[in-house]
Amino acid sequence: MFDSSSLPSATPALAPDYQQKIKQVFAEVGKVVVGQQYMVGRLLIGLFTGGHILLEGVPGLAKTLTISTLSKVLHLHFQRVQFTPDLLPSDLVGTMIYNQGQSVFEVKKGPIFANLVLADEINRSPAKVQSALLEAMQEKQVTIGETTYPLDLPFLVLATQNPVEQEGTYPLPEAQVDRFMMKVYVDYLKKTDELEVMRRMANMSYVGEVNPILTKDDIFAIRNLINQVQISETLEKYIIELVFATRRPADYDLAEFQQYVQFGVSPRASIALHRAAKAVAFLDERDYVLPEDIKDVAGDVLNHRILLNYEAEADGIKTQDLIDAILRKVPIS
CA 138 to chain centre: 14
Pair 266, 132 in one domain? no
Residue 45 falls within a domain, yes or no?
yes
Residues 159 and 187 in one domain: yes
CA distance linking residue 173 with residue 156, whole number of Å: 19
106 within a domain of the structure (yes/no): yes
> CATH number for the domain including 43?
3.40.50.300
More confident residue, 101 or 232: 232
119 or 4, which is more confident: 119
How confident is the model over 274-307, as pLDDT tens digits?
Answer: 999 999 999 999 999 999 999 999 999 999 999 9
216 with 297, same domain? no
Domain membership flag for residue 5: no
Task: Tell me the average pLDDT across 212-222.
Answer: 92
Q: Is the pLDDT of residue 100 over 50?
A: yes
Is the residue at 7 inside a domain? no
Nearest to 180 by CA among 68, 55, 308: 55
- Domain membership of residue 3 (yes or no) is no
Q: How many domains does the chain have?
A: 2
On whether residue 54 sits in a domain, the answer given is yes
Residue 160 and residue 193 in one domain: yes
For residue 63, the model assigns a pLDDT of 87
Exposure string of 188-205, with b = 16+ CB inside 10 Å and e = fewer, is ebeeeeeeeeeeeeeeee
- Do 116 and 251 lie in one domain? The reply is no
Question: Residues 95, 58: one domain?
Answer: yes
Q: Are residues 180 and 237 in the same domain?
A: no
Ranked by mean pLDDT, which of 141-145, 167-171, 243-247 comes out on top? 243-247
For position 324, which CATH number holds?
1.10.8.80
Clarify whether residues 182 and 254 are in a common domain.
no
Structural domain of 27: 12-202+209-221
Task: State the pTM of this model.
Answer: 0.89
Whether the Cβ atoms of residue 263 and residue 307 lie closer than 8 Å to each other: yes
241 and 147 share a domain?
A: no
What does the pLDDT average to over 66-81? 92
Q: What confidence score (pLDDT) does residue 2 get?
A: 53
Q: Assess if residue 175 is contained within a domain.
A: yes
Verify that 188 and 241 share a domain, yes or no. Answer: no
Q: Is residue 2 part of a domain?
A: no
Calculate what percentage of the chain has a pLDDT beyond 70: 92
Q: What is the pLDDT of residue 147?
A: 83
Listed residues 171, 194, 221: the one ending a domain: 221
Q: Rounded distance, CA 138 to CA 52, Å?
A: 10
Q: What single-letter DSSP state applies at residue 81?
A: E
Mean pLDDT in residue range 191-200: 88
> Residue 140 pLDDT more than 80?
yes
| H-helix or E-strand spanning residue 158 | strand 156-161
